[in-house]
């Protein structure tokens, strides 16, 4: 896989000379749905379909010329940048974002120290594990309702509630409004 950058907390990783060359984007695990009931054969399945958090593991590296010149103050700035809970946008998926935070921040300094020692052999490789909400989000879609098919092209994977705002832009009062909401059956 080719290298890419990522944006987190409104900053791009390239500002710090950090790039990634792979990431895990596996579907988040579903929560346990089966329960064993005493004195009953088999198990009972709950009807929920909820998911646990998603782990996005970015395999990253520093550009060696940037790594060679980083000061302790710059390392603290990078650590501060990565310590937020914010949107994570991967440049390989620019139409989606994840909401999460980095959980292995205590090891970040160790990655930096090890990379500086072995700059010729490791080229500053390290992993960042972002624990994110289960779904990828797309940008909000605003679309006027018209007569006929009103499908909305939402690019996220999260359940997206719909907000309908009706405005009378004419001078004649509207007496009857009929909306029909449907869901697709699986």
In this predicted structure, the answer to whether residue 11 has a pLDDT above a threshold of 90 is yes
Q: How far apart are CA 22 and CA 109, in angstroms?
A: 21
Q: How many CB atoms lie within 10 A of CB 87?
A: 15
The closest alpha carbon to 161, from 183, 134, 185, belongs to 183
- Strand runs (DSSP E) across the chain, as ranges? 6-8, 11-12, 18-23, 34-35, 44-45, 54-62, 85-90, 98-102, 125-132
Highest-scoring range by mean pLDDT, 3-7, 45-49, 151-155: 3-7
Q: Residue 80 class from Cβ within 10 Å (0-12 exposed, 13-18 middle, 19+ buried)?
A: exposed
Strands annotated E in 24-169? 34-35, 44-45, 54-62, 85-90, 98-102, 125-132
Q: Is the pTM of this model over 0.75?
A: no
Query: In angstroms, rounded to a whole number, what is the distance separating the alpha carbons of residues 159 and 145?
Result: 20
Helix axes 108-117, 72-82, angle to 10 degrees: 140
What local confidence, expressed as pLDDT, does residue 158 receive? 65
Residue 47 has pLDDT above 90, yes or no: no
Question: Please, what are the domains in the chain?
Answer: 1-186 (2.40.30.200)
């Amino acid at each position: 896989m080719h290298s890419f950058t990522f944006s987190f907390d409104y900053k791009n990783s390239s500002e710090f000379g950090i790039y990634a060359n792979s990431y895990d984007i596996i579907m988040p695990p579903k929560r346990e749905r089966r329960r064993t009931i005493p004195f009953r054969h088999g198990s009972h399945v709950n009807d929920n379909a909820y998911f646990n958090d998603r782990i996005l593991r970015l395999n990253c590296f520093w550009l060696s010329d940037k790594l060679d010149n980083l000061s302790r103050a710059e390392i603290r700035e990078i650590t501060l940048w990565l310590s937020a809970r914010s949107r994570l946008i991967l440049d390989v998926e620019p139409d989606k974002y994840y909401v999460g935070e980095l959980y292995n921040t205590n090891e970040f300094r160790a990655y930096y120290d090890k990379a500086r020692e072995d700059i010729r052999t490791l080229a500053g490789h390290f992993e960042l594990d972002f624990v994110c909400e289960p779904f990828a989000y797309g940008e909000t879609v605003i679309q006027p309702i018209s007569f006929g098919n009103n499908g909305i092209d939402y690019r996220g994977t999260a359940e997206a509630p719909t907000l309908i705002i009706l405005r009378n832009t004419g001078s004649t009062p509207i007496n009857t409004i009929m909306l029909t909401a449907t869901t697709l059956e699986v």
